[in-house]
Amino acid sequence: MPMGLLEELETILGHRIRPYWQAYLLGIPDLFIYPLVWMARIAEELKTKAEELGIEGPHTSWKHMFWWNVLGCLCFGPMIATHRFFGTLNKIEEELNRQARGEE
């Protein structure tokens, strides 16, 4: 069954997450600070989940997502933050799939 990113994150984190389009719209009045903080909060939750599962780093984090997007915006910063975010997400999904198959 194909799932979108929102459904994957909700499944992994165990709670509902505001859709990106809503975060984007809420960011218009505050110069897009809200979507940045929204993404950074999800990144921190992914880091916590990865640590709970015993996955070795490097992981994404609030600081990593926020500062690469703010200070690195002139030289590939958002790309680096997004790469680390999805790298952590993939590691978590691989571990959950391994556990579901019963492998140790």
pLDDT digits (tens, 9 = 90+) for 2-14: 578 999 999 999 9
Residue type, 91: K
Measured in whole angstroms, how far is the alpha carbon of residue 57 from the centre of its chain?
14
- Give me the pLDDT at residue 103, please: 73
Total residues belonging to the chain: 104
Could you give the angle at which helices 62-70 and 77-101 cross, rounded to 10 degrees? 150
Positive or negative torsion for Cα 98, 3, 91, 14: negative
Residue-range domain boundaries for the chain: 5-101
| Predicted confidence (pLDDT) per residue in 14-67, tens digit | 999 999 999 999 999 998 899 999 999 999 999 999 999 999 888 889 998 988
